[in-house]
Amino acid sequence: MERTDLGDADGCRPEDPAHRRFLIRDALAALEFFDASVGNDGDFRTLGLAGRPLGDGPLELHTTTRLVHSYGLAHLAGRADRAGVIDRGMDLLWRRHRDARHGGYVWSVQGDAVADGTKLAYGHVFVLLAASTAKLAGHPDADRLLADVAQVLEDRFWDKGAGLLRDEFTRDWQPFSAYRGMNANMHGAEALLAAHEATGGGEYLGRAGGILAFFIGGQAARNGWRIPEHYDAAWRPDPGYEGDPMFRPAGTTPGHSFEMARLLLHWWDLAGRPGTDAPVQARHLVDTALADAWLPGGGLAYTLDFDGRVARPDRYWWPVTEAIGALAALLKLDPRPCDQDWYRRLWRFADAHLIDHGRGGWFPEPGAGDRPATGQFQGKPDIYHALQADLFPLVPGLSRHAQGLAGARPLKS
């Protein structure tokens, strides 16, 4: 893979003009690649490494929502939605994923039929994220989608006693497990922060803060700044749980520590920067995850044991993008030489092993030599993680990224 100019002579810095040009080029190349996600029939398709659709399998809720959110950010940043991704995605969410019979949003659809009717908090919070970003981008259908999914989250998923999100139900809202998870709540906090920015609703901000306090100030602080992923119905950690290897792997996931650190700083900034705990906690999460998970040959291990030892050394793209986002936030807030060193190291690894400089987008996993691996993932799974790694360093704030992108319009040609 061809290496590119990441920035200044010291490596790359978020404020460096050359690095900013690199981020903009990478974002535009990814958007050009993922424009092909809209198939001939109007449905979204997962794309292969060369940009061709990988068959006509079921369309999953997180695919639809992440495309809407990503292209909404790009629209705000000045890049026209030439493929009509936002309009098509909003239509798919309302007409196809929304369950007119039972309420809520089904996990996957195939044509006009429901492929998997499971109702997952993980999917519903991404609907809230997509609706919020679409509202910030001025989409005319955003308000109805946001109001609908917010009510479903309130009525079905919100555990008022715990101040956290329950995980899963059948299509007709029967509970079928006592599982509770950090992942859905983490993305719930992300979506709640976006909803607060889109609407000004203080309840969204308060709930996001409560979720982050439970998992960071509570769980991470008691577990060596590693966050247990899985819980029972009483919200007690379940260290023996192992589920889907992508969404619910055993152990702890350092990539989520980076996400939670960035979200904590995002919430803290929106809340008026109360106290000093949030910056200290965010740094603990980032420092611990980097120390535990960075591998000798570069890249971040996917999962760890509870003592921080590497459990699954697979090197996926998304933990690298989330580490970049967390380091960019720390560099904006309280820059230290080690932060700049890590930011540069992460981008150099991505540049050499993950970014597809020929076609755009990021490979999901590096393989032998310069070839991407094709084991766990088929094609390029999504634009969401990598696009945010490109765009968030371009704005000066820890929060209100959409507003910052709309003001600067860095992707405008």
Catalytic residue among 19, 97, 256, 353, which?
256
256 flagged as catalytic: yes
The one-character DSSP state at 9 is: T
75 flagged as catalytic: no
Catalytic residue among 97, 187, 196, 385, which?
385
Catalytic machinery residues = 256, 385
